[in-house]
Amino acid sequence: MKQYGVSIVPLLFLIFSYFCIYMGHVISLLNHKGGVGKTTSTINIGAGLVELGQKVLLIDLDPQANLTISLGIPRQKTTIYEALRGEGELVPYNHKPNLDVITSSLDLSGAEMELINEAGREFILRELINQVSDDYDYVLIDCPPSLGLLTLNALTSSRYVLIPLQTEFLAVQGLAKIKQVIDKVKMRLNKQLEMSGVIATMYDSRRVLNRDVVDTIHKYFGDKVFKTYIRDNVALAEAPAQRKDIFDYLPKSPGAVDYLALSKEILERTK
């Protein structure tokens, strides 16, 4: 053993650091409900991290392709669908400096059924991301509004999960199910997975209901809730119509201010 001491130590260190940086900054944005701000948050946290000097890849994993459409990206020859099916490599589309996107298409809606008999079907996305993740500081995955195979693939690929919650009635409804899925994935498929934050979205401090829901979310999640609440801001809903993120659309809007503050918190939490 001693004779190997000199060479084994750096080798062990290399293996250890590989597992530490591996998936280091892959983040899934997850909520099985639609319309809670997953896509808006993925785009604008991604763009916020770019504002903070990071290089970011966004992955559109929703067959509705809202992220792809919101950024005005034309139909690509190889989308996430073809890559998951092994019909092509992941080809990031350069949207603007330091912000790349893996696009989606409606074809992806068939993927869950088509991949169901594939060996290692929960890890297909992880293998694909591993091929490109060295080129980025952060990889953000916009999950579909379901807890099926695509979402499982996102969770096995990720180090962190963020849950956007609309500050409306029923916001916490069904969260036990999400927690259960995350816990199971953590136990069986990805020990490193961490539910690292809850994002309160579409918040309006003038509305008692919004304040009540935020209180409930705090009781439920404690300090997992990010200090920055994303306010209800029409600019965030307008930006996709201009095919822009909020920083390119209205950089002084409350939406831009909030997403930049949130991106700073995420940077801190994932250091």
Chain contacts with ligand ADP (rule: CB under 6 A): 34-40, 66, 145, 201-202, 230, 232-233, 236-237, 240
Residue 233: contacted member of Mg ion, ligand ADP, none (CB under 5 to 8 Å, by partner type): ligand ADP
Residue 236: contacted member of Mg ion, ligand ADP, none (CB under 5 to 8 Å, by partner type): ligand ADP
Query: Whose Cβ is closer to Mg ion: residue 178's or residue 267's?
Result: 178
The least distance separating Mg ion from the CB of residue 238, rounded to whole angstroms, comes to 17
Which residues from 63-102 bind Mg ion, rule CB under 5 A? 66
* Residue 130 CB neighbours (<10 A): 14
CA angle 38, 19, 177 (to 5 degrees): 35
d(CA 110, CA 27): 24
Tell me the CA distances in angstroms from 6 to 9, 16, 17, 29, one per residue in order. 6, 16, 17, 43
Q: What tokens appear for 81 in the block?
A: 């669908």
Residue 24: contacted member of Mg ion, ligand ADP, none (CB under 5 to 8 Å, by partner type): none
Which pairing describes strands 160-166 and 26-29: parallel, antiparallel, or unpaired?
parallel
The least distance separating Mg ion from the CB of residue 175, rounded to whole angstroms, comes to 18
**DSSP conformation letters of 205-243:** TT-HHHHHHHHHHHHHHGGGB-S---B--HHHHHGGGGT
Query: Whose Cβ is closer to Mg ion: residue 66's or residue 233's?
Result: 66
The least distance separating ligand ADP from the CB of residue 4, rounded to whole angstroms, comes to 52
The least distance separating ligand ADP from the CB of residue 11, rounded to whole angstroms, comes to 44
The least distance separating Mg ion from the CB of residue 38, rounded to whole angstroms, comes to 5
d(CA 162, CA 184): 16
Query: Whose Cβ is closer to ligand ADP: residue 1's or residue 170's?
Result: 170
Nearest to 145 by CA among 42, 54, 55, 31: 31
- Alpha helices (H) along the chain: 5-21, 38-51, 66-70, 80-84, 111-114, 124-132, 149-157, 175-188, 208-221, 234-238, 246-249, 254-269
Residue 36: contacted member of ligand ADP, Mg ion, none (CB under 5 to 8 Å, by partner type): ligand ADP
d(CA 191, CA 184): 10
- Binding Mg ion (rule: CB under 5 A), the pick from 39, 54, 151, 201 is 39
Query: Whose Cβ is closer to ligand ADP: residue 112's or residue 258's?
Result: 258
Query: Whose Cβ is closer to ligand ADP: residue 137's or residue 245's?
Result: 245
Binding mask 144-183 for Mg ion (x = CB under 5 A): ----------------------------------------
- The residue ranges that bind Mg ion (CB under 5 A) are 38-39, 66
